[in-house]
Structure 1
Amino acid sequence: MKIIDILLNSDPAVKRQAQIYLLGEQSPYTEDGWIGKFLSRYDSEHQTWGNGIYGPKWTSTFYTLRDLKSLEIDPHHAVYQHGLNTLLHNMWNPEQSVEDDVCVVAMLVSLLSYGQQPASIIEEMIHYLRSMQMPDGGWNCAAVHGPSRKSSIHTTLSVLEAYADYENHGYTHSLPVIKEQIQTGQAYLLRKKLMKRESTGELILPYIVDFHFPTRWKYDVLRSLSYFAAIRYPYDPALKEGLDVLKKKFTKGYLTRGSQYSGRVHFQMETNKIGAMNTLRGLMVLKHYDFDVYVEVLRKEIAI
């Protein structure tokens, strides 16, 4: 069986994204499969998931909305919108600094931009993110509460994703002033070849070459490559080592689901040896950066 057939017979959210991003077909939003399971766990009385706003990880409202966004729920779905309103009510008040974690604010921007929330609220958050860029070009959530003057790969990628979601979903007011920040943030990751310490050339963290879905707030090489591919970033030699890691993991014609971050979950999405979402995301990267390898993977017969 070919990997595209496996994806098309996977969860409806995976099937839909494979049709759109790999086959170039149109496909309507779905509420079936994993998306439906998440929706069924919504507490309509309190407008929350998991009896919490940001915690517990990973069943809280915040991280459930992250999961739904990654599965591309209809952004106008009433439950998604109610969840966003809950986050705004509990997590954002610029006058009182209810939420001042840079990484969390960035992820909020992504969720709100996807949900087409009012520009005025998102602009407040963008203004905050703009003010928190570090001298080395990235961002670090620890800069708010500690003395750190060095950026974090986790936070930097979250901010870059937020800026991309802001632009992709039609917000324009701050684009002229964040363009330079985007470029310096990208340069920060590229200097590290997406995964290595500039000082020693060693891996920044051992687990970042393992690919995870869901990604939670944490960085890994596939998440970084997915960001660059999604914005149609041209090939850069600094991407080579990350792409080599990805290609090596495709030896059997698919990616595994990878290790999971510890914490509560509503249910286990990926249960097979083939990680459908990781494979889909990896193929999207290969389609942009190495079409020949992409075609080779699609032609490979997979024993299941």
Structure 2
Amino acid sequence: MTDPVIEWLLASDPSIRWQVMRDLQDAPEPVWMAERAKVESEGWGARLLACQDEDGQWAGGAFVPAGFTPEEWREHGQPWTATCFSLSQLREFGLDPASDRARRTVDLVGANSRWDEGGQPYWQGEVEECINGRTVADGAYFGVDVSAIIERLIGERLDDGGWNCERANGSLRSSFASTINVLEGLLEFERATGGTDPSRQARRSGEEFLLERKLFRRLATGEPADERFLRFLHPNRWRYDILRALDHFRSAAIHDGTDPDPRLGEAIDHLRSRRLDDGTWPLDWSLPGRVWFEVDEGEGQPSRWVTLRAMRVLKWWEQ
């Protein structure tokens, strides 16, 4: 019997279809790889690549678009069209890192893109942990040597095991958002290179920071650290929610060959409770700000991206 939710997911973009085939249908690798190859030439992946500048960047900037003003940020929100967010979205779509287009992009970005803060070459990293965590994830995925950024992130870990972008301003406690951005980068680095003893230790400590807090609770009081952590967001950009964290722990456990940690149980229960009667999950909110195009139906509507991630997390947990 055909699952109508699976059919609904498959009636979408190649960037979703190949992940459904791999993660939900257990399709043979040649089958989902053939679908993944379409990301470069069809749908959202091709559309985003068509927005690329001749010098390899997007919107003329590394973190913010060229000519972007503080006034627009205040009035319309942070923009998401510059190079760093475009690369992360291509990684999420699943652009083949071995493709000629991906290799050319990596080289052009390395040669021509400079960070807004400090002017460093792009693949040397920025100064903020959140940004560097995503730069590591993108770089490792696309085959760049990001070991120097890894060493910096390891040295910036706080005493409670995680990270905080406000560390340079005196923060001594880790944040959920900074920590998940770094964790995703560390895991991608391990996939690409095997990692190092210090990088693996850093990932374990950051994961323990989240697990001790059941992914969303304050350690001191047990209260939710932020109600938005329980509401599902896509694209996450730099923001945190429990589904993003659950998907990381799923991916990490598969990589490590370990069972799910029982401390994820409360977050799993919340995820189950949010499933709609038709078997899908809604997009609870989205970030304001400039985008190239939308990849969801809108707030309050069933979301293919949220549903894909929720279904693969539950499949992993229940197996």
Provide the TM-score with structure 1 as the length reference.
0.87
Residue 47 (structure 1) aligned with residue 53 (structure 2): no
> Which runs of 4 or more aligned residues in structure 1 lie more than 3 Å from their structure 2 counterparts after TM superposition?
77-89, 91-94
Instruction: Find the counterpart in structure 1 of residue 68 from structure 2.
Output: none
Secondary structure in structure 1 of the residue aligned to 2:237: coil
Secondary structure in structure 2 of the residue aligned to 1:109: helix
Instruction: Find the counterpart in structure 1 of residue 305 from structure 2.
Output: 277
Cα distance between partner residues in 2 of 1:129 and 1:51: 27
Question: For 1:9-28, what aligned pairs fall within 5 Å after superposition?
Answer: 9-25=11-27, 26-27=31-32, 28=34
Residue 156 (structure 1) aligned with residue 164 (structure 2): no
List per-residue Cα deviations over 1:12-34 (Å, max 9, x = no partner): 21111101111111322212111
Query: 1:140 is matched by which residue type in structure 2?
Result: N
Residue of 176, 193, 200 corresponding to 2:197: 176
Any gaps of 5 or more consecutive residues in structure 2? 66-78
Cα distance between partner residues in 2 of 1:277 and 1:215: 11
Question: Post-superposition shift, 1:101?
Answer: 0.6
Cα separation, partners in 2 of 1:81 and 1:258, compared to 1, 3 Å: farther
Cα distance between partner residues in 2 of 1:100 and 1:177: 20
Provide the TM-score with structure 2 as the length reference.
0.83
Question: Post-superposition shift, 1:284?
Answer: 0.9
Question: Post-superposition shift, 1:205?
Answer: 1.3
Aligned residues: 282
Question: Post-superposition shift, 1:204?
Answer: 1.1
Question: Post-superposition shift, 1:50?
Answer: 2.0
Question: Post-superposition shift, 1:3?
Answer: 0.5
Question: For 1:178-257, what aligned pairs fall within 5 Å after superposition?
Answer: 178-232=199-253, 233-252=258-277, 253-257=279-283
Instruction: Find the counterpart in structure 2 of residue 131 from structure 1.
Output: 155
Question: Post-superposition shift, 1:221?
Answer: 0.4
Question: Post-superposition shift, 1:78?
Answer: 4.0
Cα distance between partner residues in 2 of 1:271 and 1:175: 41
Instruction: Find the counterpart in structure 1 of residue 44 from structure 2.
Output: 34
Cα distance between partner residues in 1 of 2:241 and 2:105: 27
Are the equivalent residues in 2 in contact too, given 1:139–1:159 (CA < 8 A)? yes
Cα distance between partner residues in 2 of 1:168 and 1:182: 13
Instruction: Find the counterpart in structure 2 of residue 297 from structure 1.
Output: none
Cα separation, partners in 2 of 1:52 and 1:139, compared to 1, 3 Å: same
Query: 2:126 is matched by which residue type in structure 1?
Result: E
Instruction: Find the counterpart in structure 1 of residue 7 from structure 2.
Output: 5
Question: Post-superposition shift, 1:257?
Answer: 2.6
Higher RCO (CA 8 Å, separation ≥ 6 residues): 1
Cα distance between partner residues in 1 of 2:318 and 2:162: 28
Cα separation, partners in 2 of 1:139 and 1:87, compared to 1, 3 Å: farther
Residue 99 (structure 1) aligned with residue 123 (structure 2): no
What's the Cα RMSD here?
1.9
Cα distance between partner residues in 1 of 2:46 and 2:130: 28
Larger mean CA deviation between 213-222 and 255-264 belongs to 255-264
Are the equivalent residues in 2 in contact too, given 1:84–1:111 (CA < 8 A)? no
Cα distance between partner residues in 2 of 1:66 and 1:98: 14
Query: 2:288 is matched by which residue type in structure 1?
Result: S
Same amino acid, percent of matched pairs: 28
Instruction: Find the counterpart in structure 2 of residue 301 from structure 1.
Output: none
Query: 1:73 is matched by which residue type in structure 2?
Result: L
Are the equivalent residues in 2 in contact too, given 1:61–1:83 (CA < 8 A)? no
Question: Post-superposition shift, 1:212?
Answer: 1.3
Residue 69 (structure 1) aligned with residue 97 (structure 2): no
Cα distance between partner residues in 2 of 1:157 and 1:86: 28
Instruction: Find the counterpart in structure 2 of residue 294 from structure 1.
Output: none
